[in-house]
Structure 1
Amino acid sequence: MTEKGMENNKVTVIGTIVSGFTFSHAVFGEGFYLVDLLVNRLSEQADIIPLMISERLIDVTKDYQGCTMEASGQFRSYNRHEGTKNRLVLSVFVREVRFMEEFTDYTKTNQIFLDGYICKEPVYRKTPLGREIADLLVAVNRPYGKSDYIPCIAWGRNARYASGFGVGTRILIWGRVQSREYTKKVSETECEKRVAYEVSVSKLECADHAES
Structure 2
Amino acid sequence: MSDKIIENNQVTIMGKVATEFSFSHEVFGEGFYMVEVEVKRLSNSEDRIPLMISERLIDVTQDYTGEYIMVHGQFRSYNRHEEQKNRLVLSVFVREISFMEEEPDGTKTNSIWLDGYICKEPIYRKTPLGREIADLLLAVNRPYGKSDYIPCICWGRNARYASGFEVGEHVQLLGRIQSREYVKRISDTETEKRVAYEVSVSKLEKTLIDSVCI
Q: Normalization by structure 2: what TM-score?
A: 0.96
Number of the residue aligned with 2:77 = 77
Distance between the aligned counterparts of 2:51 and 2:208, measured in 1? 32
The runs of at least 4 aligned residues of structure 1 exceeding 6 Å deviation read none
Q: Secondary structure at the match of 2:107?
A: helix
Report which stretch shifted further, 63-72 or 100-109: 100-109
Shift of 1:44: 2.1
SS state of the match for residue 153, structure 1? Answer: strand
How big is each residue's C-alpha offset from its partner over 1:46-100, in whole Å with a ceiling of 9 and x where there is no partner? 0000000000000000000000000110000000111411100000000000101
The one-letter code of the counterpart of 1:195 is: V
Distance 2:104 2:193 in 1: 32
Deviation at 1:188, TM superposition (A): 1.3
Partner in structure 2 of residue 150 of structure 1 = 150
Aligned partner of 2:169 in structure 1 is 169
Unaligned segments of structure 1, at least 5 residues: none
Q: Return the letter of the residue paired with 1:207.
A: T
Determine if the alignment matches structure 1 residue 52 to structure 2 residue 28.
no
3-state SS of paired residue (2:161)? helix
Q: What are the ranges of 5 or more consecutive residues in structure 2 without an aligned counterpart? A: 210-214
Task: Find the counterpart in structure 2 of residue 22 from structure 1.
Answer: 22
Indicate the residue corresponding to 2:35 in structure 1.
Answer: 35
Deviations 1:175-210 (A, max 9, x none): 00000000111111111110000000000000128x
Query: Partner of 2:171: helix, strand, or coil?
Result: strand
Report the Cα distance in structure 2 between the residues aligned to 1:187 and 1:144, rounded to whole angstroms.
Answer: 40
> Alignment partner of 1:160: what SS?
helix
Aligned counterparts, 1:84-95, within 5 A: 84-95=84-95
- State the secondary structure of the residue aligned to 1:5: helix
Match for residue 178 of structure 1? 178
For residues 23 and 31 of structure 1, the distance between their equivalents in structure 2, rounded to whole angstroms, comes to 7
Q: Distance in 2 between matches of 1:83 and 1:144?
A: 29
Please, what is the CA RMSD of the aligned residues?
A: 1.1
Taking only the aligned residue pairs, the percentage that are identical comes to: 71
Question: Quick one: which amino acid aligns to residue 188 of structure 2?
Answer: E
**SS across alignment from 2:136:** strand
- Give, in whole Å, the separation in 2 of the partners of 1:207 and 1:185: 39
Q: Distance in 2 between matches of 1:92 and 1:183?
A: 23
**What's the counterpart of residue 212 of structure 2?**
none
Give me the whole-angstrom Cα distance separating, in 2, the residues matched to 1:116 and 1:37: 26
2: distance between equivalents of 1:207 and 1:13? Answer: 26
Amino acid at match of 1:25: H
Following TM superposition, by how much is the alpha carbon of 1:5 offset from its aligned partner in structure 2, in angstroms?
1.3
AA aligned to 2:168 is G
Q: Which amino acid aligns with 1:190?
A: E
Q: Which amino acid aligns with 2:207?
A: A
Structure 2 residue 203 is matched with structure 1 residue 203: yes
